[in-house]
Amino acid sequence: MVVLCKSMHVDVELIQNKSVVLFRQLVDGVPQVMGSIKDLEDRHMYANEGFCARLGLKSSDVMGQTVRELFGDELADSYLAQDELVLRTGRPLQNHLELIVRADGQLGWYVTSKSVIRSGAGEPLGVAVLSVDLHAQVNSAHAGLARVITSIRERIDLPWRVPHMAQIAGVSSTSLERLARGTLGLPPQQLLQRLRLEHAVFLITQTSKSLGEIAIECGFYDQSSFTRQFRKVLGLTPGAYRRAG
């Protein structure tokens, strides 16, 4: 089902753009994919079912809304900075890994790409956004990699090493490196970091533990290292993320 903005602010040229029409045909109704189109005023002119489901909102509640209205100030700052960079440089954002809280409260990793939508004359009309749920890719790609992720989550505090992870997957270290890069777009060491951050986000939002306690429980060397890596990946410090939640 195609969902279009019903507000009086609809940009007809944007909605009827051939690239937008093709984009809608590709992503509409695909549950593991979240697709959206925003105009130059940051209003959502299109959102597929996956995008609406991620927010836990009806399509009518998404259309015409800005990123800031949907996600709040602090998270929106990171998303808007991406949009601004794409529009200013004209270069797409490709395969940006993001940790997202789903509507049911579960955490998930998504790979996000963004590109400028242009008119026939080459003028920018808006931004197309595509995010793919990596959980579905892991489950369908390789059971060994899924076992590694499950094992790490069960003992996230351990000092994991690639040979041990490869042993759990039933492959060599080289094969695990190739598998992780091919499936998730990142090596095992970065996968481990992402899983530590995933658990950290859960503890930040669902418990009252101090940030120092969370850093230790998630296997970080110290709170400074935890804060630095958290901010690099999620765009916010752990404290700011807790306040935003």
User: Residue 149 and residue 157: Cα distance in Å, rounded?
Assistant: 13
How many domains does one find in the chain? 2
Q: What pLDDT score does 7 carry?
A: 42
User: What pLDDT does residue 135 have?
Assistant: 66
pLDDT at 95 over 80: no
24 and 117 co-located in one domain: yes
Please say if the pLDDT value at position 78 is more than 90: no
> Is 115 a domain residue?
yes
* pLDDT tens-digit map of 153-195: 899 999 999 999 999 999 999 999 998 887 777 899 988 998 9
Residue 31 lies in a domain: yes
Sorting pLDDT into bands at 50, 70 and 90, what band is 54?
A: confident
Neighbours of 225 (CB within 10 A): 11
Host domain of residue 189: 142-244
The DSSP 8-state label assigned to residue 84 in this structure reads H
pLDDT attached to residue 208: 94
- Residue ending a domain, among 136, 170, 203, is 136
Residue 1 lies in a domain: no
pTM: 0.62
Same domain, 83 and 172: no
Q: Where a domain ends, among 96, 118, 136?
A: 136
Q: What CATH number did the domain enclosing 48 receive?
A: 3.30.450.20
Q: Answer yes or no: is 2 within a domain.
A: no
User: In angstroms, rounded to a whole number, what is the distance separating the alpha carbons of residues 146 and 182?
Assistant: 14
Q: Contacts from 139-144 at CB under 8 Å and sequence distance 24+? A: 141/179, 141/182, 141/183, 142/169, 142/179, 142/183, 144/168, 144/169, 144/170, 144/171, 144/176, 144/179
